[in-house]
Chains A and B, each alone.
Chain A
């Protein structure tokens, strides 16, 4: 009876559903109720009579419910199919095995439990090689791609608190180096394969939804992004011609995927802290330093009486035991918060994706904050069967307002200062007897100054796709994109009421605006000849323009400071400046993709670019490329190799250009200045730029050879790639003798070679029903060397001259350090060169002539710019509904300058009361052989100090929990998960500064953070 009852329930409840029950041959649809109901009843009665029961459940994948999944009872071959909501019902016995099958997903077998409920999540079985890849002006399946294209699926990093899309690249793509500068809301830099250019930019071209994106990655909400594709070799990048030499990153935003409108909400919140705080001298060590300096200077002091060697304020605080750590004073609690919501869906004619997001980051330094608000509308509509109109539009605004304290001021602060006045406001100088710009209280400007800094971006791409009627496969697409960027940078300094008879107020407003547009006409024709010849021809013609303008108005000595920057005309001294520039380009492109027998793949591409930034004689560049790929595993002789799912060999050769220089570099320019005659101000002009009529793009010739493989039914997959990139006619801002009147000129010269190997491997190490462990490993090595420079041999030694002035050396990487070789410290009793004393740094006399001098004793002491090796390992563990992931990122084999090791901070006045980093120093009692005495200054020889930048970092750890489908079903959710993640938790390095990865803004600390997040979809 019970069984019958369940059958009756089914009929009552589910007859409105589309799919119900079926035998091998019979499918019943609920809306054809009258006819099939009877059959259903009969069937059910029959099966119940055989002792079978109704097993129910929901099938889903990571996105949501899955319709159309076939469910088969292994024993009886009874089948069912899941409905639009993923529900299914099938007759089976407890102990029977159900097989869940769907195209594109991993087959799954589950034994029917007593509960008679099986909710199942199918894992995508799409081979990496079948997924769709964006290749620029079109898409291809990975299988058919001939060039070097790496796809970054943003789903892989969705459990990480990344606010910048670039962070998803870090260490996860072979050959791509993402360097984070650690500051909130500020993107790092990206280097693909290696630096090619000596002076022009080495940043890749960013293409957002098919359009050159001149904005910043900071402005993009990373949850709006579906995937990123990195075009690495010339064949892949050649369609972007003279902009593509540094590689291309194609960013694709999300589209609607389900017919049911889907809402997704993601949010996370985290706290961050210093990874490593620079170690200043402790108060005790500070006293030691102050005395040691006096001892060296021969200035009398009494070691027992600090008043004889401290300043008045310091002595007083010392007596009162008041000490202050400057980094405590300038720090704030780091925080990160992000929330975004999206609505997406699709119908027969319309696809839409709408989102709004906010990201709020507070850095570790006081008022170093960044808030981003972003909106996106992706919408397209198929108006007729041959015409589609659409848009991808993004609005984003970043608020970086605030005046963070100056870190270089903080790091020299005496531990014995008075940071605040009696009224609680920050003092101008922490030691009132110690004045000077460098010694300003770092909190002083933070207190008196306000700043408003907004970076706004409106990026709208409109497109029309015409499927030319009558000719199958012929489409015409017009893209028009307008990108508006604004910067509002307003500053105001209030009058300090503590300074009598003085007016410290000033204010300024800088408004910057850029407008660039791209117009492209793209004709695409796909057709097949006979069975074996597939063609895809793409033609493009377009133009683009980038205009920028800015106006700055400033006022000093404001009559009233209450208006801040809003009323500059109350300033006694008012100045204005403005500037403008424009870059234009014209492009045409042709590409042929040809497949023979679906396993011999050819791509031929040519692009012709004109750019205004080049000299009149060289406006246009034509850049061709060709690629061939062979899917070897489809050949009959490899059919028998069972473990080999796929083997593809790719090779390409092509030419791409780099035009990344500022406009007007090829023409001679003059700048303006002012002077006074008597009390009359007069405009002055001076030449600022030397002309070069032949300036042109630099050209990179790339050869790429690669193998893609998939083994053991997808358990092991990967790519091995080798390349050789030869860059010629380098755009070089070459140092020239200042006796010409100019310190440098933009010119084309020389040759740089990059060779490298990239390896990526994805493995599924363990795959059990409840437990899965998968790993991915990427490794890249790039060797970069200068092959040729000016082609001169002035010294007649038979080999081409190096350029010592620019530190460019034939046969060596672009960024090397050329310096004296540190050789310990002169100890007492050593023979000392003139002007030296014990405790001074010793440098090696390379040519053994008895003295250390610039001409003969400097050499290459190390490589900077890029590491020799970059690698990353991600391990993912899944147990039931838990996912655990750990990502290790490493860069090894490079050094950097680290002049904080020097004591030249006070070469003028070493007795000034300033603090230093505590790396130790030489004294007669403690004769260090690595650190000089406090009397030593690097400027004697003009050398730098170096530190090893190699590091291995546990970059990301995350633990995520996805709620089970029963729970989701009950609450009508499509997904709900939460995650806990940690960033930058441990770094292993010898680097003496705060962050070996990014040393340009080294004084800004890198944060480690702990984040809790939720994702919910319905």
Chain B
């Protein structure tokens, strides 16, 4: 009897074990333990702010996420202002540079559609969700949030339109896969961007606390460019007027900022560390990508601003006349890799009329003289003599605009390769370009005097000789943009926008194979093969010639 009782008790425990499990309802529910969900985050203004920060980071990734001369810097190399510096048999031939399988062709596309649009569209769609109406402190607040996202959406559409031509407009977020995308026309894409920018202009704040955030002037600035592309020159001028007449911005005509003790001028001060943001006293900048040494989030995907790395010559490879190493690394020169080598057109031709008086060609803004830096060299401290070997002159030593120079960051400084990256903020838009855009709009309307006036505003600050109305041509505008904006403007997109890429590459490229290989169809980039392959239910048309 005792044994039986014991067995009963044992069985009872066993049964409990079984039943106990099935009672635990919700055992299979899945709640991510360390990941956010979109729906979960976008329930407060703070959540939207976090998405917006993600969007700003994605925007900076245009430069920082993918390193190297064939991504952001392809916006300058193999154009009229610059060529590939290091000898790259492959890329210097346009037939190899632009193919549907080329990495950069895919990277820009993927950046736009994977990094930029989903974030922008998520913010735009959720902000207007009626269920979330309560979270906003005001309608203005909500619309400002949408406006900033729309600015980025327009920015991205404009990038695509000026590289690939017509592309699928990204106007929504997708909850299920879609495989039948079709290309919109370039005009439709730009019109869509224009509508976004008009909204953005209406609702964005005129000034911001957080450096780097988008202000109304940025939208107006971009709207000017988009309207020019659309042939709406009146609107372009009106939009530029809003920036120029806002009273908030002025060209920097006096020295300012953190490096007053160092030699320089008003122009060079804009490109010294710490002097890009408005709160540094730079009243010309409108939109600035933010970098910061030794701060989480300050580094971009490849540890910072890689402008020096890509534009700077590879001086460590330079030998002195004895054939010994002539250079060691010094902070003032940094570590360039000679990926983007300015053309003679930029280094010499554009300065001919004001070589000595144009501030932008001063020793503070153009480095044309180098000294041997290797103490072990017999030529230490002496000026580097003219070189004739093509490897030297294309890659190892050439004059360059000193905008690219910056303080060597702590991590860069110590990383294994002294990678040539800095943490200087990068000006995307500044007032000088707004003037040049307005000049272009005036020019295209036939108002050469106003065009000349705008150009002269920029030239006067640089102490360059003013021009007359009859001097204004499309080529002159491009020359002026080169003088003022080299390394800042995405030159390739400017040329594509104006339809001038092919003829100017033929004219100014210093690499014969580049000049000879470019054909009319290279005006537009090919659609990446990966996008065509994945779009299985509809045919995403390739651009002609590819």
Which of the four size classes fits the interface of chain A? 35 or more
Tell me whether B28 and A585 are in contact (CB under 8 A). yes
Tell me whether B32 and A586 are in contact (CB under 8 A). no
B296 close to A (CB within 8 Å): yes
Instruction: Give the complex CA separation of A684 and B279 in angstroms.
Output: 23
Tell me whether A939 and B57 are in contact (CB under 8 A). no
Chain A residue with minimal CB distance to B319? A312
Q: Mark out the residues of chain B between 397 and 453 whose CB falls within 8 Å of any chain A CB in the assembled complex.
A: 410-411, 413-419
A440 to chain B, nearest CB (A): 5
B509 close to A (CB within 8 Å): no
Name the A residues within 8 Å of B413 (CB-CB): 501-502
Tell me whether B180 and A794 are in contact (CB under 8 A). yes
B174 close to A (CB within 8 Å): yes
Name the B residues within 8 Å of A435 (CB-CB): 316, 335, 417-418
Instruction: Give the complex CA separation of A940 and B105 in angstroms.
Output: 12
Tell me whether A941 and B91 are in contact (CB under 8 A). no
Tell me whether B30 and A666 are in contact (CB under 8 A). yes
Name the A residues within 8 Å of B57 (CB-CB): 673-675, 684, 686
Which of the four size classes fits the interface of chain B? 35 or more
Tell me whether A910 and B88 are in contact (CB under 8 A). yes
Name the A residues within 8 Å of B68 (CB-CB): 908
Instruction: Give the complex CA separation of A795 and B69 in angstroms.
Output: 38
Tell me whether B119 and A433 are in contact (CB under 8 A). no
User: Of the 9-residue stretches A208-216, A366-374, A741-749, which lies at the interface with chain B?
Assistant: A741-749
Name the A residues within 8 Å of B14 (CB-CB): 466, 476, 478, 521
Instruction: Give the complex CA separation of A444 and B415 in angstroms.
Output: 13
B335 to chain A, nearest CB (A): 7
Tell me whether A670 and B36 are in contact (CB under 8 A). yes
Q: Mark out the residues of chain B between 47 and 100 whose CB falls within 8 Å of any chain A CB in the assembled complex.
A: 47, 49-58, 60, 68-70, 86-91, 93-96, 99-100
| Given A478-B14, A687-B38, A737-B179, A573:B28 Cβ within 8 A | no
Q: Which of B90, B94, B292, B531 contacts A738 (CB 8 A)?
A: B531
Q: Mark out the residues of chain A between 398 and 433 whose CB falls within 8 Å of any chain B CB in the assembled complex.
A: 428, 432-433
* Chain A 963-996 interface 0/1 with B at a Cβ cutoff of 8 Å (1 = within): 0000000000000000000000000000000000
* Chain B 282-308 interface 0/1 with A at a Cβ cutoff of 8 Å (1 = within): 000000001110111110000000000
A365 close to B (CB within 8 Å): no
Tell me whether A584 and B295 are in contact (CB under 8 A). no
Instruction: Give the complex CA separation of A1006 and B184 in angstroms.
Output: 53
A736 close to B (CB within 8 Å): yes
Tell me whether B414 and A939 are in contact (CB under 8 A). no
Instruction: Give the complex CA separation of A790 and B34 in angstroms.
Output: 33
B311 close to A (CB within 8 Å): no
| Given A541-B18, A685-B51, A667:B118 Cβ within 8 A | no
Name the A residues within 8 Å of B52 (CB-CB): 684
Q: Mark out the residues of chain A between 661 and 698 whose CB falls within 8 Å of any chain B CB in the assembled complex.
A: 663-664, 666-687, 690-691
Name the A residues within 8 Å of B28 (CB-CB): 584-586, 610-612, 619
Q: Mark out the residues of chain A between 724 and 755 whose CB falls within 8 Å of any chain B CB in the assembled complex.
A: 734-743, 745, 747
Instruction: Give the complex CA separation of A578 and B68 in angstroms.
Output: 31
A926 close to B (CB within 8 Å): no
A848 close to B (CB within 8 Å): no
B282 to chain A, nearest CB (A): 13
Tell me whether B212 and A678 are in contact (CB under 8 A). yes
Tell me whether B534 and A736 are in contact (CB under 8 A). yes
B332 close to A (CB within 8 Å): no
A341 close to B (CB within 8 Å): no
Tell me whether A557 and B410 are in contact (CB under 8 A). yes
Q: Mark out the residues of chain A between 932 and 963 whose CB falls within 8 Å of any chain B CB in the assembled complex.
A: 935, 937, 939-942
Chain A residue with minimal CB distance to B32? A664
A487 close to B (CB within 8 Å): no
Tell me whether A741 and B416 are in contact (CB under 8 A). no
Tell me whether A741 and B174 are in contact (CB under 8 A). yes
Chain B residue with minimal CB distance to A574? B296
* Chain A 788-831 interface 0/1 with B at a Cβ cutoff of 8 Å (1 = within): 00101011000001011100000000000000000000000000
User: Of the 9-residue stretches A160-168, A294-302, A769-777, which lies at the interface with chain B?
Assistant: A294-302
Name the B residues within 8 Å of A682 (CB-CB): 49-50, 53, 210, 297
Tell me whether B534 and A805 are in contact (CB under 8 A). yes
Name the B residues within 8 Å of A444 (CB-CB): 416
Name the B residues within 8 Å of A541 (CB-CB): 18, 21-22
Chain B residue with minimal CB distance to A908? B88
Tell me whether A580 and B33 are in contact (CB under 8 A). yes
Tell me whether A300 and B389 are in contact (CB under 8 A). yes
Q: Which of A582, A672, A741, A747 contacts B117 (CB 8 A)?
A: A741
B353 close to A (CB within 8 Å): no
A897 close to B (CB within 8 Å): no
Name the A residues within 8 Å of B38 (CB-CB): 668-670, 687
Tell me whether A440 and B416 are in contact (CB under 8 A). yes
B487 close to A (CB within 8 Å): no
Chain A residue with minimal CB distance to B542? A855
A834 close to B (CB within 8 Å): yes
Tell me whether A792 and B114 are in contact (CB under 8 A). no
A282 to chain B, nearest CB (A): 24
Name the B residues within 8 Å of A521 (CB-CB): 14, 17-18
Q: Mark out the residues of chain B between 91 and 130 whose CB falls within 8 Å of any chain A CB in the assembled complex.
A: 91, 93-96, 99-103, 109-110, 113-115, 117-119, 121-122
Instruction: Name the residue in A580, A679, A737 with the highest tally of chain B Cβ atoms < 10 Å from its Cβ.
Output: A737
Tell me whether A735 and B534 are in contact (CB under 8 A). yes
* Chain A 576-591 interface 0/1 with B at a Cβ cutoff of 8 Å (1 = within): 0011111011100000
* Chain A 603-618 interface 0/1 with B at a Cβ cutoff of 8 Å (1 = within): 0000000111100100
Q: Which of B93, B119, B335, B531 contacts A835 (CB 8 A)?
A: B93
Q: Which of A312, A556, A687, A803 contacts B325 (CB 8 A)?
A: A312
Tell me whether B102 and A939 are in contact (CB under 8 A). yes
A911 close to B (CB within 8 Å): yes
Q: Which of A296, A504, A543, A939 contacts B101 (CB 8 A)?
A: A939
Instruction: Give the complex CA separation of A499 and B294 in angstroms.
Output: 19
B114 to chain A, nearest CB (A): 5
Chain A residue with minimal CB distance to B89? A935
Tell me whether A437 and B93 are in contact (CB under 8 A). no
Instruction: Give the complex CA separation of A101 and B346 in angstroms.
Output: 101
Tell me whether A805 and B536 are in contact (CB under 8 A). yes
Q: Mark out the residues of chain A between 904 and 929 whose CB falls within 8 Å of any chain B CB in the assembled complex.
A: 904, 907-911
Tell me whether A685 and B109 are in contact (CB under 8 A). no
Q: Which of A687, A737, A834 contacts B181 (CB 8 A)?
A: A737
Tell me whether A679 and B292 are in contact (CB under 8 A). yes
Name the B residues within 8 Å of A503 (CB-CB): 410, 414
A754 to chain B, nearest CB (A): 25
Chain A residue with minimal CB distance to B517? A835
Q: Mark out the residues of chain B between 153 and 174 whose CB falls within 8 Å of any chain A CB in the assembled complex.
A: 168, 170, 173-174
Instruction: Give the complex CA separation of A735 and B110 in angstroms.
Output: 13
A519 close to B (CB within 8 Å): yes
Instruction: Give the complex CA separation of A428 and B533 in angstroms.
Output: 43
A933 to chain B, nearest CB (A): 10
A469 close to B (CB within 8 Å): yes
B523 to chain A, nearest CB (A): 16
A854 close to B (CB within 8 Å): yes
A259 close to B (CB within 8 Å): no
| Given A435-B418, A737-B179, A792:B30 Cβ within 8 A | no
Name the A residues within 8 Å of B532 (CB-CB): 854
Tell me whether A942 and B101 are in contact (CB under 8 A). yes
B72 to chain A, nearest CB (A): 15
Tell me whether B53 and A854 are in contact (CB under 8 A). no
Task: Give 30 A-B contacts (CB < 8 Å), ordered by A residue.
Answer: A298-B390, A299-B389, A299-B390, A437-B416, A437-B417, A502-B413, A504-B415, A557-B410, A573-B411, A582-B33, A584-B27, A586-B27, A613-B30, A668-B37, A671-B35, A685-B53, A685-B54, A736-B179, A737-B540, A739-B531, A740-B113, A741-B174, A790-B179, A792-B179, A792-B537, A803-B536, A835-B517, A908-B86, A937-B96, A940-B90
Q: A678-B279, A794-B537, A907-B89 are in contact. List 11 more A-B contacts (CB 8 A).
A: A311-B317, A312-B325, A433-B317, A502-B414, A664-B32, A670-B36, A684-B52, A686-B55, A907-B88, A907-B90, A910-B88
* Top-10 shortest CB links A-B: A942-B101, A835-B95, A674-B297, A741-B118, A684-B54, A684-B53, A678-B211, A677-B210, A805-B533, A686-B54
